[in-house]
Amino acid sequence: MDQIILMIADDMACNPRNPRPAMVFNNANEQINVYGHDVEVDYRGYEVTVENFIRVMTGRLPPSTPRSKRLLSDDRSNILVYMTGHGGDGFLKFQDAEEISSIELADAFEQMWQKQRYHEVLFIIDTCQAESMYQKLYSPNILGVASSRVGEDSLSHHVDSAIGVYVIDRYTYYALEFLEKVTPESKKTLSQFLKVCPKSACVSTVGVRTDLFQRDPKKVLVTDFFGSVRNVELSPYTVTLNDTGDTGDSAASDRETCSADSCAQKKKIQRKKMSYVDQFPVEQFLKRR
Amino acid sequence: MGLLTNPTSRATIVGSITRHNNKICFLCYVVGLSWFLALAYQELNAGTYFSENALLPGLVRSQFYGDSEAEGYYSQLKSELNKDKNIMPVKWIYNQFMDLGLDVYIHNFTFRYPLKIFGEKQIPGQNVYAIMRASRAASTEALVLTVPFRTVTTVMDKTHGGLALMLTMANHFRKSSYWAKDIIFVVTEHEYIGMQAWLDAYHETKSELISSNSLEGHGGSIQAAINLEVPTNKISSFDFRLEGLNGQLPNLDLFNLVVRISRQEGFDVLLKEQHDPYHPETFEGYLQNLKTMFLMMWTQAPGSANNNHGVFLKYNIEALTLVGKKEKGKHAQGYGPMGRTVEGIFRSLNNLLERFHQSFFFYLLPSTSRYVSIGLYMPPFAIMVAGSLIKAVAMWISCTETVEEGVSTEKEKKETDQANGESVQKNEVKDHKEEKEEERKGLLSVIPILFITQLFGLLAYFSPDFFVDLGMPLHLHVAEAVHYGMLALFLSSLAMPRFLKRSLSEKSRPDWKLLKCVSLIVQGLVLFSIALMNISLAFFLAAVMVPVCVAMWPSNNRVVQILHASFLLLISPFLLLYITVVANQMMTEKVADVASLLVQSWDHMKTPLILGMVESQLLGSWTYCVICLGIFPNWLAFWCLIWIGS
């Protein structure tokens, strides 16, 4: 199930000025086409509005919205929110006539918390004066990373002289470089990710907000937020599920779900420690071009 | 209470202004003039910068390496031109574009010169234009590359190198798929008249004297235009022409873009054929900057559409001209760098999503990397003209004060003569009333003079056609007829004060102070209005007219009268034109002696006169209109002033 919601306001890949149509590369050497076959833009052009963004986050969409445009998350979901564009002190530009303010964003996260729509959020923002966007957050379990402090500009990394534009920003470039090396089994921690762009590389100072986050970033895996890594526990035993009836009495259901020979074993199984299987080696199957 | 609302403090301010008004006016003028001239100094102006970040100039790597192709086109063109030296090889240009696979069309137009130059003949012309469609865009916007065609026998700088370059660029551009706008290549005949005809047909507007069919091929709305005037296949530097119709200038970002890309490709950048000074902070550097700024103002003031780009500005299309020059001793480059320059400019223009709107539209350039914005040049200009307004205020105050003084002396007389009885009182009251009436009549009495001067202005505006008709039975050439006709009109206008003296009685003649006050205010109004659009014209007029007009007063002393009259004559529109032509001759040609200079200038004076009238009817330039209806009546009012007597 694709739980990536992509909102892109400008169509860069199919812009007539792009000499490589339908391809967007991460750097001037054109190594990775980041606009590959598995990219699906859910909100495009004029659909990328502050209203739509907050509706997606809070889940208050009209019933006719297709599932691919909804954020189907619950209270156990870890959500990664990545925002980039033109920004300033306390706002991020959406369209030429619209901006989202840091207060609106904080309220949207609070709504999500009240509706139990997330377990933890990693909020990454790459704009000028990005830090201002997470300063107003007040909901728990949010870790904020910003590419620049208030009063600083985030800078671009380099020019692609075949197109004649700056193709990637510094923070995103180094973050992407780090994340390209992360596999689903990787034990890299979030604190390593937070150090990814020192001032010598980024020129602006990367800001981090950890006070709302309850776990220690040194103990949080990067794969908790990236790669849609799910921990699977394989069980060699079958579990028979019978119809529980209308009573809903838990003791009665217990008696009925385990048969005579499996009930005793079940207790034994519960005392064994759980282990997760290795992750599927997905990186060996990913197409790079 | 505030300074100006408190009547006593206001009275003191006004009183001090009136007492010292001569000094203040002189100071204002001198300060304004020197401040304006000082703006060319590096410390007082700003460096040019890019306001439109979307341009991203020079970031893209050029892919043009078609030098040999361009040389091929150039040699083919030269052989084609030598077949018939006087006509435009329309068919050949048409075929070249056709071979490239572009949509090419021939635009036929005819025009008639105003003032019956060449009689009633409709002169035909042909433009060739080709449209390169953007392969992946919707043809909503377009860019224009234009070359004015000139024959090999022309006296102006040739443009054949530019034509070969245009064909090469057309070939290069059509091979790429990254264009978001259509590119239209236009070759015009008859210089900017052909360009105006094409633009009229493109935008479906109508001109009085230029007529053409509607265009067969159309692109989107034009965002920017570049005019190329490159003489040969080797040049060392690019000169830029910015001034357009009515003194309008293109957006400064377009100029910055063109300068940056030209420099990047190794060309020297010139402005008005002047290099940028190496040491602008020194006095010599300042003088060089001042010279460049002065030359730019000299070109901007007449408000003529100097090149093809001048007519684009009217349609809110930013355009300028690149003139290729081969300077002695400088390294000349060929079509490679030239092509990369044009390609770089067009790729940057391609990046734009909006029309040019960020940078300045009103500016003066002391060099290619410094500019004087409207916010910097308006204050000194305003101070210069403020002198005349202060004088007007002083005149008004002194005018009303004399009346009041008269009233107060009458009052005193009344008090001292109370013994004489009521009849005397009644007499005095009547005198008092009469004087008040005189004061009231004073302002209205100015109106007949202003009305007559305005009539003269109207006459001057509508007379050229009349003079041409008058000159035909006398077998006078149009230019001569107009020239001598205008001279006749001017001389007849000089006789106006004599007629005024005869027709207006003592009572109905206005107080000279009132007339001067009103005339100065009108002058200030006209000068400020001109300054909004064409600062150069306003500056030159203010610089000569303000000091002379402010210092005029009628006097009974014969010598003083003659002195005033001669100064005023020197700044009359007609003589001012003559002096301008003399100055121009001195700047552009080396003349042997003073006598031949004066005679030649008299002959050459016909050119700007005729050009002003022709352009006003053909292209809609308003310089001639403003001089006739704004400056000339005002000057004539001052002329009446000095002869009217106190």
**Residue B136's closest chain A neighbor by CA?**
A16
Asked if pLDDT for residue B120 goes beyond 90, the answer is no
**Residue B353's closest chain A neighbor by CA?**
A17
Maximum Cα interatomic distance, chain A, rounded to a whole number of Å: 74
Residues 19-58 of A with CB under 8 A from B: 19, 21
Question: Nearest C-alpha of chain A: how many angstroms from B348?
Answer: 9
Cβ distance of A17 and B61 shorter than 8 Å: no
Question: Do B517 and B465 fall into the same domain?
Answer: yes
Residues 394-453 of B with CB under 8 A from A: none
Give the residue among B120, B119, B121, B141 at the shortest CA–CA distance from B131: B141
Q: Report yes or no: B510 and B449 within 8 Å, Cβ to Cβ.
A: yes
Question: Nearest C-alpha of chain B: how many angstroms from A18?
Answer: 6
Question: Where are the strands (E) in B237-278, listed by range?
Answer: 237-241, 268-271
Whether this model's ipTM surpasses 0.85 comes out as: no
* Nearest by CB: A19 against B134, B177, B348: B177
Task: Sort out which chain B residues have CB atoms less than 8 A from A128's CB and list them.
Answer: none
What per-residue confidence (pLDDT) applies to A275?
A: 80
pLDDT band at B534 (very low <50, low <70, confident <90, very high): very high
Rounded CA-CA distance A186/B268 in Å is 58
Question: Nearest C-alpha of chain B: how many angstroms from A96?
Answer: 12
Question: Do B312 and B219 fall into the same domain?
Answer: yes
Task: Sort out which chain A residues have CB atoms less than 8 A from B136's CB and list them.
Answer: 14, 16, 21
Domain hosting B627: range is 20-40+378-404+445-645
CB proximity A155 to B under 8 Å: no
- Residue matched to tokens 């357009």: B244
* Nearest by CB: A161 against B59, B136, B179: B59
Q: Report yes or no: B228 and B307 within 8 Å, Cβ to Cβ.
A: no
CA distances from A93 to A88, A133, A134, A157 (A): 8, 12, 15, 21
Question: Do B544 and B479 fall into the same domain?
Answer: yes
What per-residue confidence (pLDDT) applies to A254?
A: 52
Give the residue among A218, A217, A219, A223 at the shortest CA–CA distance from A186: A223
Task: Sort out which chain A residues have CB atoms less than 8 A from B60's CB and list them.
Answer: 161-164
What per-residue confidence (pLDDT) applies to B30?
A: 95
| A-interface mutation test, from B55, B56, B60, most A Cβ less than 10 A away | B60
Cβ distance of B60 and A17 shorter than 8 Å: no
Give the residue among B194, B191, B110, B180 at the shortest CA–CA distance from B148: B191
Q: What are phi and psi of A205, to 5 degrees?
A: -95, 125
* Nearest by CB: A17 against B59, B61, B178: B178
pLDDT band at B234 (very low <50, low <70, confident <90, very high): very high
**Residue B135's closest chain A neighbor by CA?**
A16
pLDDT tens, position by position, B127-165: 999 999 999 999 999 999 999 999 888 888 899 999 999
CA distances from B141 to B132, B183, B355 (A): 12, 9, 10
State the DSSP H helix or E strand holding residue B229, giving kind and residue range, or none if neither.
Answer: strand B221-229
Q: How many CB pairs lie under 8 A apart between chains A and B? A: 40
Partners of B126 in the β-ladder? B108
Task: Sort out which chain B residues have CB atoms less than 8 A from A14's CB and list them.
Answer: 136
**Residue A18's closest chain B neighbor by CA?**
B178
Cβ distance of A16 and B137 shorter than 8 Å: yes
Tell me the two tokens of residue B564: 């005033």
* Nearest by CB: A18 against B61, B178, B348: B178
Residues 27-56 of B with CB under 8 A from A: 56
What per-residue confidence (pLDDT) applies to A1?
A: 42
Q: Report yes or no: A162 and A19 within 8 Å, Cβ to Cβ.
A: yes
Residue B298 falls within a domain, yes or no? no
Residues 169-208 of A with CB under 8 A from B: none
Rounded CA-CA distance B182/A230 in Å is 52
Rounded CA-CA distance B222/B207 in Å is 19
B83 exposed, middle or buried (CB, 10 Å; 0-12, 13-18, 19+)? Answer: exposed
Domain count, chain B: 2
Question: Nearest C-alpha of chain B: how many angstroms from A159?
Answer: 7
- The residue-averaged pLDDT of B578-587 equals 90
Residues 328-357 of B with CB under 8 A from A: 347-348, 350-351
Question: Nearest C-alpha of chain A: how many angstroms from B193?
Answer: 34
Rounded CA-CA distance B364/B293 in Å is 7
Task: Sort out which chain A residues have CB atoms less than 8 A from B177's CB and list them.
Answer: 16, 19, 21
What per-residue confidence (pLDDT) applies to B415?
A: 54
Residue B411 falls within a domain, yes or no? no
- The residue-averaged pLDDT of B587-605 equals 85
Angle at B556 between CA B552 and CA B560, to 5 degrees: 50
CB proximity B173 to A under 8 Å: no
Rounded CA-CA distance B574/B563 in Å is 19
- The residue-averaged pLDDT of B65-79 equals 92
What per-residue confidence (pLDDT) applies to B587?
A: 86
Q: Where are the domains of chain A?
A: 48-55+72-224
**Residue B175's closest chain A neighbor by CA?**
A19
Instruction: Please give the radius of gyration of chain B, using alpha carbons only, rounded to the nearest integer.
Output: 30
pLDDT tens, position by position, B272-300: 988 988 888 889 999 999 999 999 999 99
pLDDT tens, position by position, B481-513: 999 999 999 999 998 888 888 877 777 777 888
Task: Sort out which chain B residues have CB atoms less than 8 A from A164's CB and list them.
Answer: 56, 59-61, 347-348, 351
* Nearest by CB: B60 against A14, A21, A163: A163
Asked if pLDDT for residue B224 goes beyond 60, the answer is yes
CB proximity B264 to A under 8 Å: no
What per-residue confidence (pLDDT) applies to B78?
A: 92
What per-residue confidence (pLDDT) applies to A265?
A: 57
A97 exposed, middle or buried (CB, 10 Å; 0-12, 13-18, 19+)? Answer: exposed
CA distances from A19 to A97, A169, B176, B178, B223 (A): 29, 20, 8, 5, 22
The DSSP 8-state label assigned to residue B274 in this structure reads B
Cβ distance of A161 and B60 shorter than 8 Å: yes
Question: Nearest C-alpha of chain A: how many angstroms from B178?
Answer: 4
Question: Do B33 and B130 fall into the same domain?
Answer: no
Q: Which contacts qualify for A10-15: CB closer than 8 Å, 24 or more apart?
A: A10/A45, A11/A44, A11/A45, A14/B136, A15/B180
Cβ distance of B60 and A21 shorter than 8 Å: no
Question: Do B529 and B624 fall into the same domain?
Answer: yes
What per-residue confidence (pLDDT) applies to B408?
A: 54
CB proximity B153 to A under 8 Å: no
pLDDT tens, position by position, B197-208: 999 999 999 888
Question: Nearest C-alpha of chain A: how many angstroms from B280?
Answer: 33
What per-residue confidence (pLDDT) applies to A260?
A: 58
Residue B220 falls within a domain, yes or no? yes
Rounded CA-CA distance B608/B625 in Å is 14
pLDDT tens, position by position, B437-469: 555 556 788 888 899 999 999 999 999 989 988
What per-residue confidence (pLDDT) applies to B317?
A: 95
Q: How many CB atoms lie within 10 A of CB A104?
A: 16
| B-interface mutation test, from A11, A14, A17, most B Cβ less than 10 A away | A17
State the DSSP H helix or E strand holding residue B134, giving kind and residue range, or none if neither.
Answer: none
**CATH class belonging to A48-55+72-224:** alpha beta
Task: Sort out which chain B residues have CB atoms less than 8 A from A15's CB and list them.
Answer: 180
DSSP code per residue over B138-190: -S-EEEEEEEE---TT-SS---HHHHHHHHHHHHHHTT-S--SSEEEEEEESS
Is the Cα dihedral B374, B378, B380, B385 positive or negative?
A: positive
Task: Share the mean pLDDT of chain B.
Answer: 88
Question: Do B475 and B568 fall into the same domain?
Answer: yes
Tell me the two tokens of residue A233: 């526990």
Question: Do B123 and B26 fall into the same domain?
Answer: no
Cβ distance of B56 and A164 shorter than 8 Å: yes
Q: Report yes or no: B530 and B541 within 8 Å, Cβ to Cβ.
A: yes
- pLDDT tens string, chain A, 289 residues long: the values are 458 999 999 888 889 999 889 899 888 888 888 888 888 899 999 999 999 999 999 999 999 999 999 999 999 899 999 999 999 999 999 988 899 999 999 999 999 999 999 999 999 999 999 999 999 999 999 999 999 999 999 999 998 888 888 889 999 999 999 998 888 888 999 999 999 989 898 899 999 999 999 999 999 999 889 888 888 888 888 888 888 766 555 555 455 555 656 565 555 555 566 788 888 877 777 655 4
CB proximity A156 to B under 8 Å: no
* Nearest by CB: B350 against A14, A17, A162: A17
Residue A131 or B117, more confident: A131
Asked if pLDDT for residue B430 goes beyond 70, the answer is no
CATH code: domain of residue B200: 3.40.630.10
Is the Cα dihedral B285, B290, B292, B293 positive or negative?
A: positive
pLDDT above 90 coverage of chain B, percent: 58
**Residue A164's closest chain B neighbor by CA?**
B60
**Residue A19's closest chain B neighbor by CA?**
B178
- Which range has the worst mean pLDDT, A130-134, B266-270, B424-428? B424-428
Catalytic residue numbers of A?
Answer: 86, 128
Question: Do B214 and B309 fall into the same domain?
Answer: yes
Cβ distance of B180 and A16 shorter than 8 Å: yes
Cβ distance of B136 and A164 shorter than 8 Å: no
- Which range has the worst mean pLDDT, A220-234, B21-35, B258-272? A220-234
